[in-house]
Amino acid sequence: MNKTLAEIIAGVIPHKMERNRWRGILRYGLFKAMRLMRQMKRDHTTPRYYLAVCAIAKNEGPYFKEWIDWHLSKGVEKFYIYDNESTDCTKEVLAPYIESGIVDYTFFPGHRRQLAAYDDCLDRHRTDARWIAFIDLDEFIVPVQDRTIPEFLNRFEDFPAVEINWLIYGSGGAEKKLPGTMMERFKCHSKPEHPLNRHVKSIVNPRRVFTMTGCHEATRISGYAADSHGAPIKKNFRDREPQQDVIRINHYAVRSYEEFLEKQARGRASGTQKTVKSEYFDKYDLNDIRED
């Protein structure tokens, strides 16, 4: 079913959570959804990986090494990387990770390809990993109360998905790109309760979701997703207070102003483009708290 028709049908459902779920199911396709439910009931394949990450990127080559190495140190075993027509050093930076088998690389051209990449990842790797996190290259999963992300996820085996809140990091006043990693260079972040931090990213059990509704939430086959405290989610993320005390996602939304302009100029794999650049930068350049 095409997106427009799915939006029209789902739009008559009054409850926001159910509306979003049915929006995802209709976009995925009713007959395809029924086939998948039957298939997953019969499938008892042991996953090869406990935790994988899926991401689509466009010209993010300089940032890949830090991002991959951080998540490897926190328990990620596999990366499904979709390259949306990069023309920078992406392939060269990824080469050793591809050769070692850590990265599964897919060239994925076209416009507005983020959800298509997520669909492809789930269709191809649904039984390969116990959990798949869907995040971007400017997002770092940071376990706060656990040493690793798998230690956190071990408490969520009964849930089809876990939603983790952002903590937005600003530029810290940096105009130019300077040497060093993102986590070294940007130490200032928003107040934890800032409304933008209500946004979430999802780590899903691929056997128990149809697809991603958007870049934030998963379309579940059954059951409720959990928040980071382990409570079943019954409200849309925009209607919940953010949680960052157990686990969080450091979101380096703008980096330095020079890097922000470069990112805007090259376009986004999601297909979205911020037309008023200064307004977006000002909105996300949040530097209320400096961490040691």
Q: Cα(20)–Cα(15) distance, rounded to whole angstroms?
A: 9
Q: What is the dihedral of CA 71, 74, 75, 81, to 10 degrees?
A: -10
pLDDT of 275 higher than 60: no
% of residues, the chain, pLDDT over 90? 75
Name the more confident of 31 and 273. Answer: 31
pLDDT value for 6: 64
> Which band of pLDDT confidence, cut at 50, 70 and 90, is reported for residue 41?
confident
Q: Which of 228, 74, 80, 207 is nearest to 142 (CA)?
A: 74
pLDDT of the residue at 14: 65
> Would you give the DSSP letter of residue 223?
S
More confident residue, 24 or 108: 108
d(CA 203, CA 53) in angstroms, rounded, equals 9
Angle at 238 between CA 232 and CA 240, to 5 degrees: 45
Q: How many alpha carbons lie under 13 Å from residue 92 in its C-beta half-sphere? A: 6
Check: CB of residue 166 under 8 Å from CB of residue 196.
Answer: yes
Residue 166, number of CB atoms within 10 A of its CB: 25
Q: Using one digit for the tens of pLDDT, what is the confidence trace for 145-170?
A: 999 999 999 999 999 999 999 999 99
Using one digit for the tens of pLDDT, what is the confidence trace for 49-67?
A: 999 999 999 999 999 999 9
Tell me what the mean pLDDT of segment 16-24 comes to. 74
Q: What is the DSSP string of 120-164?
A: HHHHHHTTTEEEEEE--TTEEEEESSSSSHHHHHGGGTT-SEEEE
Per residue in 170-209, pLDDT tens? 999 999 999 999 999 999 999 999 999 999 999 999 999 9
Q: In this structure, are residues 40 and 65 in contact, taking their beta carbons and an 8 Å threshold?
A: no
Q: Which residue has the higher pLDDT, 101 or 274?
A: 101
Percent of the chain with pLDDT over 70: 91
